[in-house]
Amino acid sequence: MNGLQQLPRAEYAQRRQQLMAQLPEGALVLVCAAPTSVRNGDVDHAYRQDSYFYYLTGFAEPGSALLLRLAGGVVDSVLLCREKDPLQETWHGRRLGVEAAPDALQVSAAKPISELETVLDDWLDGAKYVYFAQAREDVSQAVQASAARLRGRIRQGSQVPEFYGDVDAVLNEMRLFKSAAEVTLMRQAGAISARAHQRLMQTTRPGVMEYQLAAHFAHACSMEGSQRLAYGTIVAGGENACILHYENNNQALQDGDLVLVDAGCELDYYAADITRTYPVNGCFSEPQKAIYQLVLQALDAAIAVVQEGVTVNAMQVAAVDVITRGLVDLGILQGDVDKLIADEAYKPFYLHNVGHWLGMDVHDVGNYKLYAQWRPLQAGMVTTIEPGIYIAPDTVDIDPQWLGIGVRIEDNILVTATGHENFTRQVPVTVAEIESLMQQAAQQEHG
């Protein structure tokens, strides 16, 4: 797959309308681009736009802000952005510029970002309700500074806002429900990442460095049109898999070990998040197979419950049930299953939750509970399902055959009107599928 996969541009304007339709008449919204971040000297970290700002604009440039206002039922929008500057553009890259912005981004007007203070003062004056990202200190400061300037001009007729709301709280609920176009992109991000995982399985050998597999994954994704990964790839050989967010990726893969690969690409700001665990030499040992099949059973059980109306927590309940029963069958836990579940006896081996929302952010936004109750799943939500069992090498009172085995398997699941769709099932996942793919690849290499 080549060329840039993108969301239809009209969707951004629709989202702005949808946002403002939920706010009171006269409401003002300020959403700002992500700040740049210095890596060292005059070199910045790779820039990624703020997800909320991109969600409303589809505009990836730093030094930008969006102001929206609802007046007489009509949405007025102004984008503030960097001005064209031939010298800066020669050094650092092209800019859209103020003149081209209204057409390109379907906003009512555009102004230079240098005018943010002036425009903000003008728009804030008399606005009763003001919404911005309360979690962003830089944005809060800009709003507070503007309000302070207005307060100083009260006798000249300026009016200070009465209510400050959190725009993220409104946007989080919108972002939780994926449109048809978002689903198409996420399905594509899943498929690209799935093929990259498959390529990794085919190239994994004893002696390969963890970071080399990570590089291979990134390469495979970019060759299919993804410009960036959704998060730092985890390649964890052997007992490194028992470190949940292992990120050193600096060890050689050992014959006889498993390797856990947690990696996903990003496609026009939409993430995939896949984990597969497989034997470095292409053949599971008996203890590895036993743990692996238990995690796979937990994955299947958790996916099977996904449908509209089921609560978010049901997937975790299903996974915990399978894992606890299985650990008892393997002799790793002893006792009555129901009591072990009530006592959370599985926690030393399965300490995280079964999944999280997935979307523009890998750990995507959206509440899991509503009014203190686990919320029901609804069509358009996308969640990961990722049970795991991790038996740390220093675990005591356990048969040594299990020590250092860490397995997680992770798929990306869309809730649909009729049940669910697994975006990432294409990556081999059963023991037979994995062993056959890896052994075929080894034969081809030697044959």
Residues 94, 151, 363, 399: which is the catalytic one? 363
Our answer to whether residue 153 is catalytic in this structure is: no
Q: Is 394 one of the annotated active-site residues of the chain?
A: no
Tell me the per-residue interface mask from 315 to 354 with ligand GLY, x by CB under 6 A, - otherwise. Answer: ----------------------------------------
Is residue 99 part of the annotated active site? The answer reads no
Q: Coil, strand, or helix at residue 77?
A: strand
Residues contacting 127, CB < 8 A, separation 6+: 26, 27, 28, 69, 161
72-111 positions binding ligand GLY, by CB under 6 A = none
Is 363 a residue of the active site? Answer: yes
Lookup result for tokens 């604009």: 57
Verify whether residue 410 is a known catalytic residue.
yes
Exposed, middle or buried by CB within 10 Å (0-12, 13-18, 19+), for 446?
exposed
Among 125, 224, 257, 262, binds ligand GLY (CB under 6 A): 262
Which x/- pattern over 14-43 shows residues binding Mn ion (rule: CB under 5 A)? ------------------------------
# residues contacting ligand GLY (CB under 6 A): 6
If binding is defined by CB under 6 A, does position 374 make contact with ligand GLY? no
What is d(CA 342, CA 314) in angstroms, rounded to the nearest whole number? 15
Q: Is 357 helix (H, G, I), strand (E, B) or coil?
A: strand
Residue 200 touching ligand GLY (CB under 6 A): no
Region 225-244 residues binding ligand GLY, contact defined as CB under 6 A:
231
The listed partner (Mn ion, ligand GLY, none) that binds 231, CB under 5 to 8 Å by sort, is: ligand GLY
Of 146, 188, 198, 384, the residue at the interface with Mn ion (CB under 5 A) is 384
Give yes or no: 151 in active site.
Answer: no
Burial group, residue 62, by CB count within 10 angstroms (0-12, 13-18, 19+)? buried
Decide: is 364 part of the binding site for ligand GLY (CB under 6 A): no
Question: In angstroms, how far is CA 289 from the centroid of its own chain?
Answer: 30
- Within 8 A by CB and 6+ apart from 231, the residues are 264, 271, 273, 362
Burial 395-419 (b: 16+ CB within 10 A, else e): beeeeeebebbbbbbbbbbbbeeee
* Distance of closest approach, residue 272 Cβ to ligand GLY, in angstroms: 10
Query: Of residues 392-421, which lie at the interface with ligand GLY (CB under 6 A)?
Result: 410
Q: Could you give the dihedral angle defined by the CA atoms of residues 375, 187, 9 and 16, in that order, rounded to the nearest 10 degrees? A: 0
Q: Which of 210, 356, 361, 420 is catalytic?
A: 356
Residue 318: exposure state from Cβ atoms within 10 A (0-12, 13-18, ≥19):
buried
Give the three-class secondary structure for 291. helix
Min CB(352)–ligand GLY separation in Å: 8
**Does the annotation mark 197 as catalytic?**
no
The 138-177 site mask, x for binding ligand GLY (CB under 6 A), equals ----------------------------------------
Question: Of 352, 375, 425, 433, which is the active-site residue?
Answer: 352
Q: How far is the CB of 280 from ligand GLY (least distance, A)?
A: 21
CA separation for the pair 149, 122 (Å, rounded): 11
Q: Is 361 in the site for ligand GLY (CB under 6 A)?
A: no
- The pair of structure tokens assigned to 19 is 């946002």
Q: According to the binding rule CB under 5 A, does residue 364 interact with Mn ion? A: no
Beta bridge partners of 129: 163
Nearer to ligand GLY, 50 or 386 (CB): 386
Q: Is 299 exposed, middle or buried (0-12, 13-18, 19+ CB in 10 A)?
A: buried
Q: Site residues for Mn ion, window 404-433 (CB under 5 A)?
A: 410
The interface region with Mn ion, picked from 146-154, 270-278, 325-333, 428-436 by CB under 5 A, is: 270-278
Instruction: Record the tokens describing residue 410, joined without a space.
Output: 């992770």
Site residues (CB under 6 A) for ligand GLY?
231, 262, 273, 362, 386, 410
Give the residue numbers annotated as catalytic, written as ranges: 42, 245, 262, 273, 352, 356, 363, 386, 390, 408, 410
Site residues (CB under 5 A) for Mn ion?
262, 273, 275, 384, 410
